[in-house]
Chains A and B, each alone.
Chain A
Amino acid sequence: AQTVTQSQPEMSVQEAETVTLSCTYDTSENNYYLFWYKQPPSRQMILVIRQEAYKQQNATENRFSVNFQKAAKSFSLKISDSQLGDTAMYFCAFMKPVANSKLTFGKGITLSVRP
């Protein structure tokens, strides 16, 4: 079974600065997908970024990028130029790339962006 660990319960960052959210996972699979989801106070789950394990290049989406270390089973999210709208819970998630696969989530981290 897969497990996803987010050990930091909460973080705070000054607006315009950079913050990194940590995530580790455990799996015996060689191919899989990793995701970061954002959940603002509205509670909507929003996909931030996705990484395929077979790709060595780290995924990037505008101000969001990941540091994917497959051997270390680490998948951190870097948010550059933090904005007030980034204040939310962030969930790291794992999924096997097969039909009907479920998402396995970490416990989440609460990020607060200070003005």
Chain B
Amino acid sequence: DTAVSQTPKYLVTQMGNDKSIKCEQNLGHDTMYWYKQDSKKFLKIMFSYNNKELIINETVPNRFSPKSPDKAHLNLHINSLELGDSAVYFCASSPTPGGSSYEQYFGPGTRLTVT
């Protein structure tokens, strides 16, 4: 069973379009994240949600809007796509902290290419 899944895995689109990436986790975790990996492979947090509530919003342009319909899903909607948005976007989830359960489980990533 896939723990953290993302759709689509690849997304090619033109500048100016609006697109969404979906993420689902079946681990029963409370917290979900979006990370961006740029062309130089640098990974950086974008957002985190805990049980549908926005917790972290790291200086991400307003064109990016996360939505969490329930605690198992965290989607990322991007408006007016720009060339610089081309990257790999990773979804991750983690359980309620306690003991050693701080590990974040990553999805397979979505490679977004804006042309």
B41 near A108 with CB under 8 A, answer: yes
Give a binary string over B64-107; 1 marks a CB under 8 Å from any A CB, 0 the rest: 00000000000000000000000010101000110010111010
B56 near A47 with CB under 8 A, answer: no
Closest B residue to A52 by beta carbon equals B100
A47 near B31 with CB under 8 A, answer: no
The total of chain B residues at the interface (CB under 8 A) is 27
Shortest A60–chain B CB gap in Å is: 15
Shortest A111–chain B CB gap in Å is: 13
Give Cα distance in the complex from A107 to B90, angstroms: 16
A89 at the interface (CB under 8 A from B): yes
Shortest A46–chain B CB gap in Å is: 8
Shortest B21–chain A CB gap in Å is: 14
Closest B residue to A50 by beta carbon equals B103
Interface size class of A (residues with CB under 8 A): 20 to 34
Give Cα distance in the complex from A44 to B106, angstroms: 7
Give a binary string over B9-45; 1 marks a CB under 8 Å from any A CB, 0 the rest: 0000000000000000000000101010000111111
Give the number of A-B contacts (CB < 8 Å).
Answer: 58
Closest B residue to A100 by beta carbon equals B55
B97 near A99 with CB under 8 A, answer: yes
- Chain A residues within 8 Å of B103, by CB: 35, 47, 50
- Chain B residues within 8 Å of A50, by CB: 100, 102-103
Interface window among A17-25, A63-71, A75-83, A90-98:
A90-98
B102 near A100 with CB under 8 A, answer: no
Give Cα distance in the complex from A113 to B55, angstroms: 40
A-B contact pairs, 14 of them (CB 8 A): A39-B41, A44-B106, A45-B92, A47-B103, A99-B31, A99-B50, A100-B55, A101-B97, A102-B45, A103-B35, A104-B45, A105-B43, A107-B40, A107-B41
